[in-house]
Structure 1
Amino acid sequence: MDILSLGEKIKKLRKEKNMTLKELAGDRITAAQISHIERDKSHTSYELLEYLSGKLDVSIDYLLETKEMQSRKITDNLILQSEVYIKCNELENAQRQIAEVIEICKKYDLTDNYGKCNFLLATINLKNGNYSEAVSDFEKALYFFIKDNDTDNIFKCYLNIGNIYMKDGFYKGAISRFDFAEDVLDKSKNEGVESYKDLYSKMAYCYIKLDKSEKSLEYIQKVDSLDKKNSSMEEVEMISLKANNFLNMGKYEESKEYFKKALDILEKEDNKTGMASVYLTISEIYKKLGNRDKALEYSYKVYDIKKDSEDDYMMTGLFKIIEVYVENEEYEMAKKYCKIALASSIKGKNKLNEYRALRFYSDMYRKQNENNLAIEYLNKCINIISEVGNNKILANIYIDLGELYSTISKDKELEYYQKGVCMYRNLEII
């Protein structure tokens, strides 16, 4: 992946073929002339380049590629490779690669790729939870993207800065960045349906946090008026392997195409996860607005999208479904989904999710005045939370057990209240 002058290329190829200066010169020119060309001391005619390309078994286009053209191809490919590393959570590899790209960009004044590097560094900082550094890198990237009128990446920068502000509770700042992002999206040629849905759900969330319900509903309705997408990581690994092989062989265009294929697959994965995130946000908004039916509808959408992967999004969707059914006193439906949540939690060896499912069972039995069954499930919760070591949750369970025993056994009631209060004191809650 060296960036070479014409002379350096000819010398490198000649040495790879174990040819002497005289052998390369043949009857066409002298060894001294070849030496001058290899040291970039003299210019060559097109006819001589045809002769040299034939002797060295390469294309004339390869020989004619300037250092700037080579730097462009190499940095394009390394940036794509860095993106794949980031998607696969190999952040150290990505940072190492980006540092290499930045040096090449500085040397050959590749401003657009320098902007992409800042964007990728911001993405890494975002993944590592370094939010102020991420904002700074996104703003640096914006400078270059605006300069090059790169609307796709301008949109992504505004969206990401808005996401960070939203996470920090700076909702007005988030909305201003989302407004900028919407303006960019409106002007771009790409329809960006998924992008609009993600953007509108976030704006709806910010407005509900600012107690502007009408505005929030306006953006939810925009999401409703739009339209909804899975892939295999094994395929990504195979495609990336081919891309790396082409890159090492100097076949930059082929490498670039394979990196793009890998990214397309990863983007589809992100769409699925992204839409789950959108629907969870909308579900939460409807719940806060008191519209349980709509909250349930969007929780089901999350579950439907992610049930094959059984990840955190699926579990969150399931628990939201259960929560609504419990609030609606539709206990049979709630138990049906509790059973699914419990099985998935045990399968995934996630003790906290197992606790949450069992806790729902206990709450349901308590609401139905079946206190002995409610106590039985809380005792199962104690075993799990003791294993996890979360004393705050454990203290809450003891207080709840005290309340349940109030109509059954005064001794047990006092015992569990004392346990809970003692733990609260140790945790300095009271």
Structure 2
Amino acid sequence: MEILSIGEKIKRSRIYKGYTLKDICGKKISVSKMSCIENGKIKPDNWILELVASKLGINIEYLKKDVREQLEFNLEKIKNGHNKTDQGDVLRYNLEYAEEYKYYDIAFEFMHMLFNYYLDIKDTKSCQINTARHYNLCRRSGNEKNKLLYYMDIGRYFYAENEYFQAANYYNNVRKTLTEKECKDYDFLSNVIYEEANCHFMMKDCEKAYEILTRLVDIIDFIHDGEHKAKIFNLLGILSIKMNNGKFEDFEKKSYELCKNHKSLKAEFIYSYGCAMLETDISDKAYKYVNESIALYPTDNKKNFVHFMINVIETLIEIDKISQAQDICDKVLNYSIDLHEDMFIEKSYYFKALIMYKEKNIEMSEMYMNLSLDILMRIGNKNQIKNRYMEMGILYFEMNNTSESIKYFSLALNSNKRV
């Protein structure tokens, strides 16, 4: 996916084949002009390219393809799923070239993809570093839709940072703009509305979330993405449980129908309904739903399985299903070690510590908590580490180890000051 200007292609091929500038030019082109072409100072005419291609024995179409065309070709390849293993490096490489050649419209597309790549791998620090660059490319691209995409990206960033109010504001701005323009891109519009509603749900404002989300019911038939439609009905079902409005069963049925044979998605929906029930007067049904989701979730993709089960383990601990939480946690820990995923290993150790604590095995709880903290110190943010220090302080207090308890409370206090 290397990008070369026309001049660079000529120069590389010429040197590789052992030709001098004079050999290429003959009597038809001046050496000084060819030197300027190779150094990108002037653009060659078609007849010159045909002559050079003939003498060097290279494909004329390859030679004619300039930097912009190469960038467009690379962008299309990435959109079609190529280069997934080194996606971050590929996006950064193309972005640098697009900026260097001032192709700001293409540069914005690469930046948009790179920003979301960082969010996908939970690297919010890189998002923060690139926010100003992202905005600058959005402004220079001169495209109104890019402004909306930029707002969506920043909304997603704030959501990842648990800044739900800020995220909701960005999504709201996009929704208002699309509504004013009477947007007919229902897939895009529905995504914006869904994300805004989800922010209000995370802020525990279920009425507001429901009011926003029900606007999608009228346009649901115009949305092409079946999985996205399923997620809309899933969130409506969760909100109906919370609000006890009597509409849950209808939304539940529709969400399952749209899942079709997607077992992992259906399991996630069932689990989310169970979690929503925990804080309601139908909490007695919650464990049935959680248990059903455990049985349904496929194990063929270990990474997805571990990610899902980590949430399940936390819920099982909360509802005092300790034995079941222990069994799943052991399995998840083994998978996490096989995957070499520090984030999963850290969570597994942490949950093992909580389980041991519940079983009054304080010494084992201390051991797993320390193993978890060692990893968290490498991969966690300041708030996560501060909260863990507080937990460690409480744990040592329970163990009557005053000196260690004071040490961790002090670390938490000092960490809080830095935050």
| TM tier, smaller | 0.5 to 0.7
Q: Which of 351, 354, 368 is the equivalent residue of 1:392? A: 354
Seen in structure 2, the aligned counterparts of structure 1 residues 221 and 173 have a Cα distance that, compared at 3 Å, is same
**1:341 paired residue number:** 293
In structure 2, how many angstroms separate the alpha carbons of the residues matched to 1:333 and 1:43? 69
Seen in structure 2, the aligned counterparts of structure 1 residues 77 and 428 have a Cα distance that, compared at 3 Å, is farther
Seen in structure 2, the aligned counterparts of structure 1 residues 157 and 300 have a Cα distance that, compared at 3 Å, is farther
Letter of the structure 1 residue corresponding to residue 72 of structure 2: D
- Structure 1: segments with no counterpart, 5+ residues: 230-267, 364-374, 399-424
**2:26 paired residue number:** 31
Asked if the contact 1:385/1:393 (under 8 Å) is kept, the reply is no
**1:315 has 2:296 as partner:** no
Letter of the structure 2 residue corresponding to residue 308 of structure 1: N
- Deviation for aligned residue 1:395: 5.7
**2:348 paired residue number:** none
Asked if the contact 2:155/2:170 (under 8 Å) is kept, the reply is yes
User: Percent same amino acid among aligned pairs?
Assistant: 15
- Deviation for aligned residue 1:330: 12
**1:289 paired residue number:** 243
Q: SS state of the match for residue 129, structure 1?
A: coil
**1:120 has 2:113 as partner:** yes
- Deviation for aligned residue 1:97: 1.9
Letter of the structure 2 residue corresponding to residue 79 of structure 1: L
Q: Which of 175, 178, 182 is the equivalent residue of 1:185? A: 178
**1:3 has 2:4 as partner:** yes
Q: Which of 128, 148, 154 is the equivalent residue of 1:155? A: 148
Seen in structure 2, the aligned counterparts of structure 1 residues 135 and 298 have a Cα distance that, compared at 3 Å, is farther
Letter of the structure 1 residue corresponding to residue 26 of structure 2: A
**2:374 paired residue number:** none
In structure 2, how many angstroms separate the alpha carbons of the residues matched to 1:135 and 1:354? 27
Asked if the contact 2:21/2:35 (under 8 Å) is kept, the reply is no
Letter of the structure 2 residue corresponding to residue 122 of structure 1: F
CA deviations 1:365-390 (Å, max 9, x no partner) are xxxxxxxxxx9x97666555566663
**1:70 paired residue number:** 66
Of 9-18 and 295-304, deviating more is 9-18
In structure 1, how many angstroms separate the alpha carbons of the residues matched to 2:20 and 2:10? 12
- Structure 2: segments with no counterpart, 5+ residues: 334-350, 361-393, 400-419
Q: SS state of the match for residue 227, structure 1?
A: helix
Q: SS state of the match for residue 203, structure 1?
A: helix
What is the aligned-residue RMSD (CA, Å)? 5.1
In structure 2, how many angstroms separate the alpha carbons of the residues matched to 1:382 and 1:12? 62
- Deviation for aligned residue 1:180: 2.0
Normalising to structure 2: TM-score of the pair? 0.58
In structure 1, how many angstroms separate the alpha carbons of the residues matched to 2:113 and 2:92? 11
Letter of the structure 1 residue corresponding to residue 100 of structure 2: K
- Deviation for aligned residue 1:167: 4.1
Asked if the contact 1:280/1:298 (under 8 Å) is kept, the reply is yes
Letter of the structure 1 residue corresponding to residue 69 of structure 2: K
In structure 1, how many angstroms separate the alpha carbons of the residues matched to 2:322 and 2:48? 86
Letter of the structure 2 residue corresponding to residue 148 of structure 1: S
Letter of the structure 2 residue corresponding to residue 33 of structure 1: K
Q: SS state of the match for residue 33, structure 1?
A: coil
1:242-257 correspondence runs (5 A): none
1:39-118 correspondence runs (5 A): 39-40=35-36, 65=64, 70-83=66-79, 88=84, 90=85, 93-118=86-111
Letter of the structure 1 residue corresponding to residue 66 of structure 2: Q
CA deviations 1:107-162 (Å, max 9, x no partner) are 32222233233323322321232325414534532332233332343222212222
Letter of the structure 2 residue corresponding to residue 303 of structure 1: Y
Seen in structure 2, the aligned counterparts of structure 1 residues 394 and 139 have a Cα distance that, compared at 3 Å, is same
CA deviations 1:32-58 (Å, max 9, x no partner) are 435736445899887777677777788
- Deviation for aligned residue 1:219: 0.9
Q: Which of 158, 169, 174 is the equivalent residue of 2:167? A: 174
Higher relative contact order by CA 8 Å / sep ≥ 6: 1 or 2? 1
- Deviation for aligned residue 1:279: 3.9
Asked if the contact 1:208/1:216 (under 8 Å) is kept, the reply is yes
Seen in structure 2, the aligned counterparts of structure 1 residues 177 and 307 have a Cα distance that, compared at 3 Å, is same
Seen in structure 2, the aligned counterparts of structure 1 residues 294 and 316 have a Cα distance that, compared at 3 Å, is farther
Asked if the contact 2:183/2:189 (under 8 Å) is kept, the reply is no
In structure 2, how many angstroms separate the alpha carbons of the residues matched to 1:151 and 1:274? 25
In structure 1, how many angstroms separate the alpha carbons of the residues matched to 2:83 and 2:12? 36
Letter of the structure 1 residue corresponding to residue 267 of structure 2: M
Seen in structure 2, the aligned counterparts of structure 1 residues 48 and 381 have a Cα distance that, compared at 3 Å, is closer
**1:401 paired residue number:** none
Normalising to structure 1: TM-score of the pair? 0.57
CA deviations 1:403-430 (Å, max 9, x no partner) are xxxxxxxxxxxxxxxxxxxxxx858689
Seen in structure 2, the aligned counterparts of structure 1 residues 211 and 108 have a Cα distance that, compared at 3 Å, is closer
In structure 2, how many angstroms separate the alpha carbons of the residues matched to 1:4 and 1:346? 48
CA deviations 1:66-121 (Å, max 9, x no partner) are xxx71111222333444556994x3xx22322332233234322222332333233
In structure 2, how many angstroms separate the alpha carbons of the residues matched to 1:44 and 1:203? 51
In structure 2, how many angstroms separate the alpha carbons of the residues matched to 1:112 and 1:176? 26
In structure 1, how many angstroms separate the alpha carbons of the residues matched to 2:269 and 2:187? 20
Seen in structure 2, the aligned counterparts of structure 1 residues 383 and 170 have a Cα distance that, compared at 3 Å, is closer
Q: Which of 173, 179, 197 is the equivalent residue of 1:204? A: 197
In structure 2, how many angstroms separate the alpha carbons of the residues matched to 1:87 and 1:51? 35
